[in-house]
Structure 1
Amino acid sequence: MKILVLNSGSSSIKYQLFEMPEQHVICSGLIERIGLEMGAVHYTSETNNVEEATEIKDHKAGLEKVVDLLLDKKTGVLHSTDEIKAVGHRVVHGGSTFTNTTEVTQDVKDKIKELFSLAPQHNPANLEGIQVAESIFNKAKQVAVFDTAFHQSIPIKAYKYAIPNKFLEQEKIRLYGFHGTSHKYVSEKAIAYLQKERTKIITIHLGNGCSITAIKDGQSIDHSLGFGPVTGLIMGSRSGDIDHTLIFYLVNTLGYSINDVNTMLQKESGMLGLTGFSDLRDIEAAAENGDTNCQLALEMNAYRIQKYIGSYVAAMNGLDAIVFTAGIGENSELVRKLVCTNMETFGIELDEVKNNVRAKQITEIHKESSKVKVLVIPTNEELEIAKQTYQLL
């Protein structure tokens, strides 16, 4: 069965075409910088590689480009869109409604739309990807896989906020958690690698969005992102944890509108707000050249992660392994080094030689004397979505 997986972000579309259940990747690629003056198209199959710079006006144009690549007589891998039996979609926020992978119906789309305000950078793009895919792959089943689903195992003592009970009971206001597809995928890889019946693992997903999860015996028991995907770690443009009285001060004393504050916390804060750079590679280069803002931002970033590691070790009463994953986690030896520095009290000892790696598979980067394994595990959200889509169908 051919399953196309679409991970539709605010300005990009990741895609992979799988033959299931063999988990064979037929082709994969990325459409990025959607809506900007010049976009980028990436496409890789077993026999061809395409790189193209072109304007991608919107997500519809991006998906149409994907279809053109799939059907191209020279580089394509399909004769017809009818060959695709299902399209699996990543959806960031499922709220309290969606706890499992779900076939898309009009009711499902309506509920995804109702959650726009909780994930404004993600759910609108996710829904647009579904709607465009329905028109292009009109004979395929459309399936939604929710980032929040993996975290449904978090106990009430961890997901409930200390606000009046009615807000949980009536409005379902609680910690939901995100990046669940990634945390689930790498934690299962780590558990298989450790070959232990009972495990205590911390998975650290570091990209433009960042999150950290405490996973005990394969179950998520606590997580850094909350009601929406803004809390916790310092992210590319999102603030992570702040004192919420700051919001009232900005509005009531400094005269900001609530929309201005929301935009600032979502799109102008994090590493971008601290350094002026949106790409970690630029931040690391500037820090190496003496930029004190960039140096401090990297230290703050690592310190926040260290605090969460400490709290999750306490929550699980122990630790077997920490896992770095996603774009930054897999590729930044500097961030991994900063996070693992002065963590010997938790049994974490980094081997700097082993750390000098961009891992393509599960890789150990700890010293032999380290009581806790430090692993780099490349995530594959698209494969996890394909597996869950196939299992549902």
Structure 2
Amino acid sequence: MSGKSDDLVLVINSGSSSIKYQLLDPESSAIAASGMVDRIGEPNSGIEHHAEGRTVEHHGPIADHTTGLKLVFDMFAETGQDLAGAGVRAVGHRVVHGGEVFYRPTLIDDSVLAAISELSSLAPLHNPANVAGIVSARKLLPDVPQVAVFDTAFFHGLPDAAKTYAIDAKVAAAQGIRKYGFHGTSHEYVAGAVARLLDRDRLEVNQIVFHLGNGASASAIRGGHPIDTTMGLTPLEGLVMGTRPGDLDPGIVPHLMRSAHLDIDQVDELLNRHSGLKGLSGVNDFRELQRLIDAGDDASRLAYEVYIHRLRRYLGAYLIELDRVDAITFTAGVGENSPQVRADALAGLSRFGIEVDPALNTAKSRVARHISTPGSEIAVLVVPTNEELAIARAAHRIVAADG
């Protein structure tokens, strides 16, 4: 096993039907193993596990997260990495919603687990799956400290004007209604990487970060501290996403309930799983969307245009909020891999000091890099995110501090 065993952290990102994981050294960032359990609960489930230069696969039904993680542990042993006896220092779990309760990495006990579960109404696609992963990992590694790292933590200190919704203040306070923000682990990691790429102290850098994946969010960060972000009480607000609409008129919800006779669960399902790019075009994978656009599909073209329109709207808002901007950065699956999105989002903005170099933008690379012209007043960057490393480092710090 690479690195000293007691320096390693197992990071688990448990989704509704998948588990992504990495075993890594938080100091050196060296990855000892990684993999993914996919399509949990379906007949064609599978696992792809990478370790020590080998790839081990499993194909066949995986009923639940506990079964999936047990198979993953078997694969670790098969590749010479017995997790149960290796002295792994901690398990770090990505948890999407921390509400008002959790705003820093937290050691997990029964009461913390119950509180995370209670927050599921605010992140119905995510927190229940996060809980399932935690429960499974605690069973398999009962003597290893487990740490929850929350997507909302980075945005906990948003200015009051940015986090407050203009509804009855007593109702908002009683129900915990405020802007929480998400993808915080990614935004914080990328903000630090941008400062290093610019060779500046992060407290001196004003920046806009676009985290564009199946879920998508943007943030305005002044001197290392976020002052605004697109996602809100839940991960539904803001940018157009793979299956979520982002901003929409709240009146649409009662309208659907009255006119389409949908109940609240059906509306919730519509907005979380059947909206966004998928609702407009039938697909939520950006590669498939581009294939349909190239084939002349009008619905897919419109979906793309709506997506870009929303990006540019928030870009303009954040340019004004920050006043001085040093960098605009793209990260996550779409942000890192779609030169077309980057080019279209920033097209025609030279008068604002934003110029993308076409050759740099289309060059294939997996490293953090500039894609702006030498004359661009604002640096345009692509920075691969590394949420797993950020989670591993946070978990390691908490366990070390706990003794």
Q: TM-score, normalised by structure 1?
A: 0.96
Alpha-carbon shift at residue 79 of structure 1 (Å): 6.4
1:8 to 14, 34, 40: 14
Q: Distance in 2 between matches of 1:81 and 1:300?
A: 52
Counterpart for residue 132 of structure 2: 128
Q: Does 1:196 align with 2:196?
A: no
Aligned pair in 2 of structure 1 residues 49, 348: CA closer, same or farther (>3 Å)?
same
- Structure 1 segment 1-393 matched on structure 2, within 5 A: 1-72=7-78, 75-78=79-82, 80-197=84-201, 198-393=204-399
Deviations 1:134-191 (A, max 9, x none): 0001110010000000001211110011111113333221000000011111111001
Q: Distance in 2 between matches of 1:25 and 1:31?
A: 18
Q: Sequence identity of aligned pairs in percent?
A: 41
Q: Distance in 1 between matches of 2:143 and 2:289?
A: 46
Q: TM-score, normalised by structure 2?
A: 0.94
Alpha-carbon shift at residue 359 of structure 1 (Å): 3.2
Q: Distance in 1 between matches of 2:131 and 2:357?
A: 43
Secondary structure of the equivalent of 1:255? coil
Q: Distance in 2 between matches of 1:192 and 1:136?
A: 38
Stretches of structure 1 lacking an aligned partner (at least 5 in a row): none
Amino acid at match of 2:257: V
Alpha-carbon shift at residue 86 of structure 1 (Å): 1.0
Q: Distance in 2 between matches of 1:77 and 1:71?
A: 5
Higher mean displacement: 250-259 or 4-13: 250-259
Stretches of structure 2 lacking an aligned partner (at least 5 in a row): 1-6
Mapped contact 2:230–2:239 kept (Cα < 8 A) = yes
Q: Distance in 1 between matches of 2:83 and 2:324?
A: 53
Amino acid at match of 2:272: Q
Mapped contact 2:206–2:223 kept (Cα < 8 A) = yes
Alpha-carbon shift at residue 195 of structure 1 (Å): 2.3
Amino acid at match of 1:160: T
Q: Distance in 1 between matches of 2:229 and 2:64?
A: 33
Alpha-carbon shift at residue 28 of structure 1 (Å): 1.1
Higher mean displacement: 359-368 or 75-84: 75-84
